[in-house]
Amino acid sequence: MSVRKFLIFHPILMLSAFIGTADGYYEYMKHECIYSTSDYSDMVYLLSKSFNKVVDVQFNSSVGKCVGYTEEGVKYAENWNKDQAIMQQYKAAVDRFCRYNAQIIDSNVRDKAVKPEVTLSSVKQAEGNHPAVLMCSAYEFYPKKIKVSWLRDGKLMTSDVTSTMEMADGDWYYQIHSELEYTPKSGEKISCVVEHASSPQPIVKDWNPSMPDIERNKIAIGSSGLVLGIIIAAAGLIYYKKKSSGRILVPN
């Protein structure tokens, strides 16, 4: 699993130019750069001319020519495909516009990337025919795109997994939560894997089923209570001794 392949991330760079009219009709040109690899080897440049949200004609660098989708768009495509100067300009946009801007934007994002805080906890213990539920949470990360997956004995879990969307915290950071339903088996290893641009390697959290969360909480609460009781008893004993030493015994 590669964090770069997931996160570089199907971004789209867009630049649009609108021409509107008083009666509400408008047309616009939209430039898009779509890619999914860190070396931009699969970069695709799209140029679309639309009228009232309907695409008339589009240039696709992977196709190498313009394609019309409406009667007017077909005429545009025929004329543009015949113009070698226009076609050379569109084909060169993959490097001149797309790769150039993608490198700038990606470097800025990576410089500002914040590593997520990942926790793994038990939400529900297995009872009878009901499966156990684990939750893997990632907090305070940036940028938004992230991937959370589950491994069971090294194999990717694709079923019984539910995840939220990336949720904005309102402070430029995001959080996400993923749950896994499973029937516990002795000796198995379950891991939550988080892939994000802030970390060159996937963040892996292994689940330790040796002690359920409820039991750990009980022990922690009990230990805290014991320590507090000892402190109170010691303070009481010291206070009693001080009071006793200050008293004078008067015989009857």
Q: What is the pLDDT along the chain (252 residues), one digit of tens a residue?
A: 333 333 333 445 555 555 555 555 778 888 888 887 778 888 999 999 998 889 999 999 999 999 999 999 999 999 999 999 999 999 999 999 999 888 887 777 666 789 999 999 999 888 887 889 999 999 999 988 999 999 999 999 988 999 999 999 878 899 999 999 998 888 899 999 999 988 989 999 999 877 555 544 554 455 556 656 667 766 666 665 666 655 544 454
Please state which architecture CATH assigns to domain 3-111.
Answer: Roll (3.10)
The C-alpha atoms of residue 232 and residue 104 are separated, in whole angstroms, by: 62
One fold for 3-111 and 117-206: no
162 C-beta neighbours (distance < 10 Å), count: 11
The three-state secondary structure class of 134 is strand
CA distance readout (Å), 119 to 7, 178, 247: 21, 11, 57
The C-alpha atoms of residue 126 and residue 182 are separated, in whole angstroms, by: 8
Topology of the domain covering 117-206: Immunoglobulin-like (2.60.40)
The three-state secondary structure class of 11 is coil
